[in-house]
Amino acid sequence: QSALTQPASVSGSPGQSITISCTGTSSDVGSYNLVSWYQQHPDKAPKLLISEVTKRPSGVSNRFSGSKSGNTASLTISGLQAEDEADYYCCSHASEGGSASVVFGGGTKLTVL
Amino acid sequence: QVQLQESGPGLVKPSETLSLTCTVSGDSISSPSYHWGWIRQPPGKGLEWIGSIYYSGNTYYNPSLKSRVTMSVDTSQNQFSLKLSSVTAADTAVYYCASEYSSSPTYWGQGTLVTVSS
């Protein structure tokens, strides 16, 4: 079970849009619509932003959106704000050899310029 | 809303067993909606899923940790637990418990730092 691949860092200016990619395989992202995204500020627990590829929990800003194509999922943040500066992680259901598990991406640090 | 709280020793000696408990409030651990999971984060590093358990006792473990992990659930106390054996310094991390819905850790505890050191 290998970690999903995310860019180490992305940056953008306030008001801009950015997209963070999350690449997996046919054993995880490519086979299940069970991709989620998390935001983590320093010394805080991660916060769920997106579940099941596109679903936004109640209370999460509609500036956050998710999508998926093939083995790659994406998180888009529109109208960047200073408080969006954080680490972002993707997560997917995975299955290999008949055993189910969950796998995270390595994380992406978002800098708001 | 589900709330979770981790508890257990903050310091464990190398080769010993790390034991943590997560107390759930706001919902029953016997709810068929959730699995109950553990995730860890070494200092300055990313998240790693350790495993999860259903109220029935069915478990799902990270293949890379499977040989050292045991999870259990206590429905009478609305708690679930993690044991990680033969720990080394590489197991030093913040350990989070979480409710999982559709393979997404949804509600998270605040996390507890466990340091492996003699």
pLDDT per residue over A22-36, tens digit each?
999 999 999 999 999
B88 — contact with chain A (CB < 8 Å)?
no
How does residue B38 score in pLDDT terms, banded at 50, 70 and 90?
very high
Mean pLDDT of B37-43: 98
Mean pLDDT of B88-100: 98
Closest by CA to A75, choosing from A46, A97, A53, is A53
Percent of chain A with pLDDT over 70: 100
What are the structure tokens assigned to A50, written together? Answer: 């997106």
**Residue A10: per-residue pLDDT:** 98
Residue B108 CB partners (closer than 8 Å, separation 6+): A45, A46, A47, B4, B39, B96, B97, B98
pLDDT per residue over B44-87, tens digit each?
999 999 999 999 999 999 999 999 999 999 999 999 999 999 99
Mean pLDDT of B24-43: 95
Mean pLDDT of B6-10: 97
Interface test with B, best of A101, A103, A108 (most B CBs within 10 A): A101
Q: Which residue of A has its CA nearest to B5?
A: A45
Residue at token pair 């935001």: A39
Contact B105 A46 (CB under 8 A): yes
**Residue B1: per-residue pLDDT:** 87
Q: Residue A1 above 80 pLDDT?
A: no
Strand-pair category, A108-112 with A9-12: parallel
**Residue A97: per-residue pLDDT:** 84
Mean pLDDT of A87-98: 94
Percent of chain B with pLDDT over 90: 97
Q: Residue A17 above 90 pLDDT?
A: yes
How does residue A49 score in pLDDT terms, banded at 50, 70 and 90?
very high
Mean pLDDT of A62-81: 98
